[in-house]
Amino acid sequence: MKFKLRTLVAGAVVALTVFSCARQEMMTYTEAENTTLAAWVQKYAPNAEKYNDNMYIEWIERNTNPGPADSLVEVGDWVRVKYTVKTLAGSVVNTRDEQVARIEGTYTPFTHYSPQLVYMNDPNVTMLEGQYEALQKMRRGDIARLYLSSTYAYGPNGFGDDVGYGGQNKL
């Protein structure tokens, strides 16, 4: 009797699985990451402006009265940038700030902590893709916080962050 009952239950499970009308939709990694980023930004940074599915910018300080020397950053410009890269959980991955490195316990006297002087070249080979795009929306004196998907930062369109003495790196 037990054998017949087990066979009947197993057959029912197989039949329900095979003939189920439920449909499993697959989401790509990029779609899942962008959906998660959008939800996180909506909850923790509601004032951030969406620029594309991969990037949001939260303006901390804007140059609201630009003069002739304060045009938007363009390809061919040299830009001095001070930044700290963090995960959404708040872990520091990369910083150009000595004080941040000391607080994180990653300070080393062999690292030169200062704003990075970057050339806005085309194609971009010197910085995170999202950072490159965001800089082109900025003027002198602007301060912003960027929220980028990992694929837009270090993914296939970004660069490997091998900066040597250029900044403090930690994973």
Q: How far apart are CA 45 and CA 145, in angstroms?
A: 10
Residue range 42-99, pLDDT digits in tens: 999 999 999 988 899 999 999 888 887 788 899 999 999 888 888 888 888 888 899 9
Among 97, 154, 164, residue whose Cα is nearest residue 130: 154
Task: Give 29-36's long-range contacts (Cβ < 8 A, gap of 24+).
Answer: 29/151, 30/149, 30/151, 33/149, 33/150, 33/151, 34/149
Residue range 86-116, pLDDT digits in tens: 888 888 888 889 999 999 988 888 888 888 8
Q: How far apart are CA 41 and CA 165, in angstroms?
A: 32
Question: Which DSSP helix (H) or strand (E) runs through 41?
Answer: helix 29-44
Highest mean pLDDT among 28-37, 121-130, 160-169: 28-37
> Dihedral of CA 112/117/120/121: which sign?
negative
Regarding beta strands 55-61 and 49-52, do their DSSP bridges make them parallel or antiparallel, or are they unpaired?
antiparallel
pTM: 0.70
CB 34 within 8 A of CB 149: yes
CB 22 within 8 A of CB 138: no
